[in-house]
Amino acid sequence: MKTQKDSQSQRSVWGILAQTIKAILSVCVVAVLAATLFTSWPATGIAASFVSGSGNGSSPAGEATATAQPDYHVGLVVGHWGNDSGAVCPDSLGGYKEVDINYIVADLTQQYLRAYGVTVDLLKEFDDDLEGYESNALVSIHADTCERIEGHTSGFKIAETKANQRPEQATRLLRCLENRYAAVTGLSLDPDRITVDMTEYHAFDEIHPNTPAVIIETGYMNQDQYLLIKEPDRVARGIADGIMCYLKREPISPEE
């Protein structure tokens, strides 16, 4: 038979034990909470940013590190690829074919964009995939005639799709490209010679109306030949920077 004292002392032992367990449990809860909080903070989310493509002359793939980013998806049309040569320079001016220049530039642009974490489709001029094509942006890459035109025959030109359901997006893509391309290549915009072939570019009517699209003439194959042939990396970086400006909603110029 248990005495009163015994049962009292037993109760106090259980009391101390219960308090100890409670204390241990609450320490555990705090530890678990803290662990959850710390692990739920993104390790890279705040610091993650695209590495600027601004150049040191190294290869595109070596300049940027891909980090966790939204899933950007962009299409690049290689002007005339799979169809014809495009503009051709006479032998006296190197015999260059526009389609070859376009391909080199588009391929390098693709490398820059991939290094920034963007999924890229390289498309032919009349690619079957252009029908209903949907992505964050479509840029068709061309180069301008090798013929000598009276007056000023240097510079680049850009036109946007008019059939777009989101014209403000296409305009922003165009303005981003104009700004970044001029900054990287040093070429000026040549707005006076934008042709119907550009404003009514066939692919604008084929792609999905939600896809903002532009066509760029990267420079004249005679006057701007040094840039197009010797520095295609700069041409590509100008285009890639313009596309990233659009995708990342960067201010187009420092004043904006």
Residue 244's contacts (CB-CB under 8 Å, 6 or more residues apart) are 50, 53, 113, 116, 118, 180, 250
Tell me the C-alpha distance between 39 and 45, whole Å.
12
Q: 98, 103, 95: which is closest to 87 by C-alpha? A: 98
Residue nearer to Zn ion on the CB measure, 86 or 117: 86
Q: How far is the CB of 79 from Zn ion (least distance, A)?
A: 4
Please give the size of the binding site for Zn ion, defined by CB under 5 A: 3
Judged by CB under 5 A, the chain residues 129 through 168 that form the site for Zn ion are 142
Tell me the C-alpha distance between 81 and 162, whole Å.
24
Q: 174, 156, 169: which is closest to 228 by C-alpha? A: 156
Q: Please report whether residue 79 would count as binding Zn ion according to CB under 5 A.
A: yes
Q: Please report whether residue 219 would count as binding Zn ion according to CB under 5 A.
A: no
Q: How far is the CB of 86 from Zn ion (least distance, A)?
A: 4
Residue nearer to Zn ion on the CB measure, 213 or 245: 213
Residue nearer to Zn ion on the CB measure, 19 or 195: 195
Q: Please report whether residue 86 would count as binding Zn ion according to CB under 5 A.
A: yes
State which residue has the least CB distance to Zn ion: 142
Residue 147's contacts (CB-CB under 8 Å, 6 or more residues apart) are 87, 222
Stretch of 24-32, 82-90, 188-196, 208-216 lying at the interface with Zn ion (CB under 5 A): 82-90
Q: How far is the CB of 215 from Zn ion (least distance, A)?
A: 9
Tell me the C-alpha distance between 105 and 122, whole Å.
11
Q: Please report whether residue 60 would count as binding Zn ion according to CB under 5 A.
A: no
Is residue 135 classed as helix, strand or coil in its secondary structure? coil
> What's phi and psi for 180, nearest 5 deg?
-70, -40
Tell me the C-alpha distance between 100 and 87, whole Å.
10
Residue nearer to Zn ion on the CB measure, 79 or 219: 79
Q: How far is the CB of 128 from Zn ion (least distance, A)?
A: 20
Q: Please report whether residue 117 would count as binding Zn ion according to CB under 5 A.
A: no
> Where on the chain is the footprint of Zn ion (CB under 5 A)?
79, 86, 142
